Amino acid sequence: MTTAALVRDLGVALAPDRVRAGALELALYERDASMLTGQASVVCFPTSAGEVSAAVRVCRDHGRPFVPRGSGTGLAGGATPLGQVAPVVIVTTKMNKILEVDSEQRFAWVEPGVLNLDLSTAVAHLGLHFAPDPSSQQSCSVGGNVANNSGGPHCLLYGVTSAHVLAMEVVLADGSVVVLGGIDPEPEGLDLRGAFVGSEGTMGIATRIAVRLTPLPPCVATLLADFSTIHDAAAAVTGVIAAGIIPAALEMMDATIVEVVEAYVHAGFPTDAAAVLLVEVDGLRGGVDVCTSDVEAILKAHGAREVRVAADAAERAAWWKGRKSAFGAIARIAPSYYLHDCVIPRTRLVDVLDEVGRIASSRDLVLGNVFHAGDGNLHPLIVFDRRAPGVLEKVHEAGRKIIETCVAAGGSLSGEHGIGIEKREAMDLVFTEVDLEAQKWLRDAFDPEGRCNPEKILPRGGSRCGDISSLPPGAWV
């Protein structure tokens, strides 16, 4: 069937003005926030589970794959439309209602297009919040958080998205609608909710999500420590955790990031520091006071030049704005960036950061480090101008070496960004052929015909090859 017929049938299932196939719309939705591009045949914008189901059934009738997409803030190409036939992109941003809030049982039913921060803002008057807090929380959607099992600074203490999702209404690849999980403490049956969270849109489209709401802490203290070497800062991270203290957040920024963030946000960061740690503790007043004192002593014992405690909510907010603005601030250096997402044991931070620095410098690349230090979730940030001849090849080669270094140190491929296209050909660095086959069986159980977000996560052909060579021509732009 032709694309025109596909557009016509989708227009009947939804509404003609929410089905787009113009060159501009297709170009806008050919990629997410990664550097990976694909090609869509049609983009559509459902407003209900019924319309999502109808759109999926039209795709099935026309033999078209489909790609679920939220706000498009993903960094691993998970929402990039790929396939032997150009897929339909089903965008859930218009499904943005908070449907129900139960303050007594502390959960909310929301549509997938609800923005992460908007949910916390909406329930703040009840003394509650949605604990996962990606740096993109002002723009990323809850549906996208579910797809990638997103993390964030405060997930060190509170856990990533999977710890905060109770149930989901899901449209499967054949258009049928099911509910996975439940709000009961122990839902019956297999934990298919747990299988779906983090599946990156390869098992269906979530249309309603029951999320756990967490009480706002009664007391919060935020500390800012600066160091003359990144080694001292990394050792301080290990020292805090080794003392049995699990802060709500423990973030690191190196000199490159601190300098550009301070020029951009004016958060009050010391620009002569080699590294800065942002540490937050929360809980009851007495415990917070003791923990703050202990953390301050540990940071100083590991070489902190100065440790400041935020004087008030305004200063705390300024520091966090600086931390969460890092990825926008680096545009002051160059227009493009490549952000990695590997996880390593905390005890290997010093060694791995040294090697990551060597990988970048040997290729004349500018590198900054800003990451969730408390749980070893590294975010090496390579800053470059993609228009420069040969730079993309160097950037991608460096990225591959960073992955190999982290895995060799006992780490894993992703802490929160997902595998998508970016890391799919590196999956066998961590998983055996048996592991990958088991993952394929699970995926096939949800989507036997492979129509849902094809060519993501699992390596092509069951074996690893070069990251670039496995992608469609022009994908890295």
Question: What is the average per-residue pLDDT within 80-86?
Answer: 94
pTM score > 0.85 for this model? yes
Mean pLDDT calculated for residue range 342-363: 94
- DSSP notation for 362-414: TTT-EEEEEEBGGGTB--EEEEE-TTSTTHHHHHHHHHHHHHHHHHHTT-BS-
Calpha distance 149→134 (Å, rounded)? 10
**Who contacts 313 (Cβ-Cβ below 8 Å, separation ≥6)?**
none
Same fold for the pair 219-324 and 333-418 = yes
Query: Using the 8-state DSSP alphabet, how is residue 36 labeled?
Result: B
Could you tell me the end-to-end alpha-carbon distance of the chain, in angstroms, rounded to an integer? 31
pLDDT for 474: 41
In this prediction, residues 114-119 reach a mean pLDDT of: 98
Q: What distance in Å separates the CA atoms of residue 271 and residue 358, rounded to the nearest whole number?
A: 23
Confidence label for 370 from pLDDT (cuts 50, 70 and 90): very high
- Is the per-residue pLDDT at 465 higher than 60? no
Q: For position 189, what pLDDT does the model report?
A: 85
Average pLDDT of the chain, as a whole number: 94
Amino acid at 324: K
**Residue 467 pLDDT level (bands cut at 50, 70, 90):** very low
In percent, the amount of the chain with pLDDT more than 70 equals 96
Q: Could you give the CA distance from residue 151 to residue 161 in angstroms, rounded to a whole number?
A: 6
Burial code (b: 16+ CB inside 10 Å, e: under 16) for 74-113 equals bbbbbbbbbbeebbbbbbbbebbebeebeeeebbbbbbbb
pLDDT score at 225? 98
- pLDDT of residue 332 exceeding 70, the answer is yes
Is residue 476 very low, low, confident or very high in pLDDT (cuts 50, 70, 90)? very low
Is the CATH number 3.30.70.2740 carried by domain 333-418? yes
Domain residue ranges of the chain, discontinuous segments joined by +:
3-91, 98-215, 219-324, 333-418
pLDDT in tens, 117-150: 999 999 999 999 999 999 999 999 999 999 999 9
DSSP 104: T
Handedness of CA 404, 405, 411, 413 (dihedral sign): negative
Q: Please state the rounded mean pLDDT for residues 431-447.
A: 96
Provide the pLDDT for residue 274: 97
- Per-residue model confidence (pLDDT) at position 461: 66
User: Taking 70 as the threshold, does the pLDDT of residue 168 lie above it?
Assistant: yes
Count how many Cα atoms sit within 13 Å of the Cα of residue 437 in the half-sphere of its side chain.
3
Would you say residue 466 has pLDDT above 50? no
Q: Which fold has domain 219-324?
A: Alpha-Beta Plaits (3.30.70)
pLDDT, tens digit (0-9, with 9 covering 90-100), for 38-57: 999 999 999 999 999 999 99
Supply the pLDDT for residue 131. 97
98-215: CATH number: 3.30.465.10
> Binning pLDDT at 50, 70 and 90, where does residue 357 land?
very high
Q: Which residues pair with 306 in a beta bridge?
A: 226
Residue 2's pLDDT band (cuts 50, 70, 90): confident
pLDDT tens track for 388-434: 999 999 999 999 999 999 999 999 999 999 999 999 999 999 999 99
pLDDT tens per residue, range 176-214: 999 999 998 888 888 999 999 999 999 999 999 999 999
Vertex 337: Cα angle to 146 and 130 (nearest 5): 25
Beta bridge partners of 309: 223
Which CATH entry fits the domain spanning 3-91: 3.30.2080.10, 1.10.730.10, 3.40.50.720, 3.30.43.10?
3.30.43.10
pLDDT surpassing 70 at residue 475? no
Q: Rounded to an integer, what is the distance from CA 474 to the centroid of its chain?
A: 24
Render pLDDT for 252-309 as a digit per residue (tens, 0 to 9): 999 999 999 999 999 999 999 999 999 999 999 999 999 999 999 999 999 999 999 9
Listing DSSP states for 413-476 in one string gives S-SSS--TTTTGGGGGGTS-HHHHHHHHHHHHHH-TT--BSTT-SSPGGGS---TTTTSPTT-B
